[in-house]
Amino acid sequence: MTIQLGQVAPDFEAETTQGTIHFHEWLGDSWGVLFSHPKDFTPVCTTELGETARLKPEFDKRGVKVIGLSVDDLDRHAGWEADIAETQGHAVNFPMIADPEKKVAALYGMVHPEADPSITVRTVFVIDPAKKVRLFMVYPPSTGRNFDEIIRVIDSLQMTDGRKVATPVNWQPGDRAIIPPSISDEQAKTLFPQGWEAERPYLRWVEVKA
């Protein structure tokens, strides 16, 4: 299955390290990050899960629930989590989906046969409270993910959703934003009474509060 931006994230029922979940029900009104790992006891994923556990307070602060997935079963997940806590210094503090039959992986297009038909690739989905997919990224097996970037994108999505702006390259919270071309100058006068800087007619910079 091919997932596209803006579509409703497929719902599913799955066994996790924190019990059986119905995905949409588990998400509730929260944002969500669903990310897959090739398999348990792999070195790059071990570092990623430790980093996600370390960053969980940052996800919590943004109203984001995090859930991982691997094609291995719950028993292997339990053993791997012990390794993660010991080697990374942070115990896994979010659920991990056991997907040995690759049902969820197939539903989300996480298995790429040309790469390896037996495991999932490193996929990340960011899902909003309306259950719509707002971001997906696929990393090669040799490259660990940048979770600071995932948080940065969530900050941008949450800010731009409420303020009718876009964020420029390398944007960080507190930086200037951009008024999209779809908003006319007349509309902008109402939306942004503080004014803006027009570097070009199509490139209008505006200060917005986080």
Residue 140 has pLDDT above 90, yes or no: no
Residue 69 has pLDDT above 90, yes or no: yes
pLDDT digits (tens, 9 = 90+) for 19-51: 999 999 999 999 999 999 878 888 999 999 999
Distance CA(48)–CA(188), nearest Å, equals 42
Active site residues: 45
* CB contact at 8 A, 106 and 112: no
- H helices of the chain, in order, are 23-27, 43-61, 74-88, 103-107, 147-163, 185-191
pLDDT at 117: 47
Amino acid at 179: I
CA neighbor of 2 nearest in space, from 130, 140, 111: 111
Q: Which two tokens stand for residue 112?
A: 């790429």
Residue 137 has pLDDT above 90, yes or no: yes
Q: Which domains does the chain have, with CATH numbers?
A: 13-145 (3.40.30.10), 164-206 (3.30.1020.10)
Average pLDDT over every residue of 140-150: 90
